[in-house]
Amino acid sequence: MNKIKEILIVSVFAAIVAAPAQFAAAAGDDWATKITISQPVQIGNLVLVPGSYVFRIADMLTPNVVEIYSVSTNHYYGMVAGISAYRDQASDKPIFVFKKEAKGSPEELLDWYYPGNNYGLEFLPGASAHAAG
C-alpha cells in the first residue's frame, strides 16, 4: 500500500511541475504572435509606441512571462508578467483585449489569448515590467 501511495505522490508532483510546460507547448512553445498598434499601448508599466511587435512566451517553464520584440526580432523592448486568464470560447485568431484609459493616456492591454486556446494571460494594471535599456 505504501508503494502505491509513493507512486501516486510522485505522479501528482510530476503533473504539477509539468503543467506550465504543457500550457506553453500546447500553443506551439512560445506563442509567437505579431501585433500592430496604431496608438500607444500600456502593458503593466511598459508603454509601446505605435508600430508592429512580436509577443512571445519567455520560457516554457514560466509561461506567464511575455517578451516583446520588433517584428524582425532583432530589437528587444522588454518583458512583462501576467496571470492565467480563461475564456469559454477559443478563437482561431489571436485575441487582444484593451481598456481605454482617460483621454491623453495610452490604451491598456488587459488580456492576450493565443489562437485555438481557451487559456491566455491577463496583464495587471501597473504590473512590473522590465524594459530594455
| Model confidence, pTM | 0.73
Residues of the chain with pLDDT under 50: 5-27
Instruction: Convert the pLDDT of each residue in 53-87 to its tens digit.
Output: 999 999 878 789 999 999 998 999 999 999 999 99
Work out the burial of residue 23: count CB atoms within 10 Å of its CB; fewer than 13 is exposed, 13-18 middle, 19 or more buried: middle
Predicted confidence at residue 1, as pLDDT, reads 53
Domain boundaries, the chain: 2-131
Residue 124 is placed in which grid cell? 495587471
Strands (E), the chain: 33-37, 41-43, 46-48, 51-59, 62-70, 76-81, 83-86, 95-99, 107-113, 119-122, 129-131
**How many CA atoms within 13 Å lie on the side-chain side of 75?**
9
Start-to-end CA span in the chain (Å):
57
Predicted confidence at residue 3, as pLDDT, reads 53
Look at the block and give the residue holding cell 501528482.
12
Predicted confidence at residue 130, as pLDDT, reads 74
